[in-house]
Structure 1
C-alpha cells in the first residue's frame, strides 16, 4: 500500500469519527429538556419571572437548532470527503455491488433526519412555551390601559425575531459553504448511469 493510500484511509477513518461526533449529540436535546423543566420549576417557585424564563427556554431552543444546522453542514461536508476517497478505491460496478452513495453527493446541504428530529423538538418546545406565555402574560393585557404596558412581556418576542434572523443567516451560510466545497472538491468523476437517487440520499424529502 502506497503512502497516499495509507493517508487516504486514515482520513477516511477520521471523517467518520467527525461525523459520529456531530450527529451523536442526543445530549443536546436532553440538556434543553432538562433546562426547560428546571427553569419552569423556578417560575413555579417565583424565583424567576415567567418573561425571563420563557426567554431563556427560547434561547436554549435556538441553541439546539443552531447546533443542528452546524452539525448538518459538517456531516454533509465529511460525507463528500468520504465519497471522494471511496471513488479512489471503488469502481462504477461497486455502485450496485457495495453501495450507491459515493456516486453522487448529497444536494443542497440536506439535513439528516436525525438532526431534523432535534430541530422539530426545539420548535415544538418553543411553540408550547410561547403559547403559554402569550395566554398568561400578553392576552390578559389586551383589555388593560396602554399605560399598563410592561416591556418585560415583549422580551421573548424580540428574542424570537433575533433568533429567526440569526438562524436564517446561519442556514444560508452553511448552504453556501457546502456549495463552495462541492464546487472546489467535486471528486473523481464516476458514471451513475442506471442508478436512481431519491430520498435515501437526500434528493427527495
Structure 2
C-alpha cells in the first residue's frame, strides 16, 4: 500500500468521524420544535393566531424533526460502514479482540441510533399532547352542538390533514433511506474479515 493511499484513507477516516459527530450531537432540531410550540401557543393565548393553524404548524415542525432524525440516522450508518471499510485496510482479524469488533461486520439494518430515538420519542410525545388537546377542546366539545352551518368550522380539520400527510410522508422517507443503506452495503461491502472469533448482538446487530 502506497503512502499516498494511506494518507487519503486516514484523511477520509477523520472527515467521516467529524461528520458523524456533527449529525448525532446536534440537538437544536428538537429544541427548536419545543420552543416553536410554546411560542405558537402563546400567540394563541394572546388571540394573535388561530389555534387550529397553530397546532397544524406545531405538527409540521414535529414532522420536520422526524425528517432530520431519519436523515441523520442514515448518515450515521452510512459513514459507519465507510469507517469500518477503512479500518479493515489497517486492522487485523486479531484486532477485533484487542481493539474493537465493530469493523468486522456491518450493521444489517439502517436502525436509528439511541440518541436519535430519544429525540424522536420527544416528538411523538409532543404530537400526542397537542393533537389530543386539540381534539378535546376543538372537536369533542362540539359533539353536543347541533349540526348547522354556524357550528361548522373547516379549520378544525386542518391538524388532522397534517397528521394524515405526516403518516404518509414519514414512512416513505424511512423506506427510501433503508433502501439507500441496503444499496450502499451491497455495492461497498468492504474487505472480508473473519468474524468467527466474536459474537454480535444488541450492541452491533448484524442480522
The answer, yes or no, to whether TM exceeds 0.5 is yes
Query: For residues 166-205 of structure 1, what are the structure 2 equivalents within 5 Å?
Result: 166-202=169-205
Q: Given the alignment of the two structures, is residue 15 of structure 1 paired with residue 16 of structure 2, yes or no?
A: yes
| Alignment partner, residue 161 of structure 1 | 164
Aligned-partner Cα distance in 2 for 1:182–1:7 = 21
| Alignment partner, residue 69 of structure 2 | 68
SS at match of 2:93: coil
Q: Are the aligned partners of 2:84 and 2:104 in contact in 1 as well (CA < 8 Å)?
A: yes
| Alignment partner, residue 58 of structure 1 | 59
| Alignment partner, residue 122 of structure 1 | 123
Q: Are the aligned partners of 2:105 and 2:206 in contact in 1 as well (CA < 8 Å)?
A: no
Q: Are the aligned partners of 1:95 and 1:101 in contact in 2 as well (CA < 8 Å)?
A: yes
Aligned-partner Cα distance in 1 for 2:22–2:103 = 21
* Unmatched 5+ stretches in structure 1: none
RMSD over aligned Cα, in angstroms? 1.1
Query: For residues 125-140 of structure 1, what are the structure 2 equivalents within 5 Å?
Result: 125-140=126-141
Give the length in aligned residue pairs: 204
Q: Classify 1:202/1:36 alpha carbon distance in 2 versus 1 (closer, same or farther; 3 Å).
A: farther
Q: Given the alignment of the two structures, is residue 111 of structure 1 paired with residue 112 of structure 2, yes or no?
A: yes
Q: TM-score, normalised by structure 1?
A: 0.97
* Unmatched 5+ stretches in structure 2: none
Residue 146 of structure 1 and its aligned partner are, at CA, apart by 2.6
Residue 203 of structure 1 and its aligned partner are, at CA, apart by 5.0
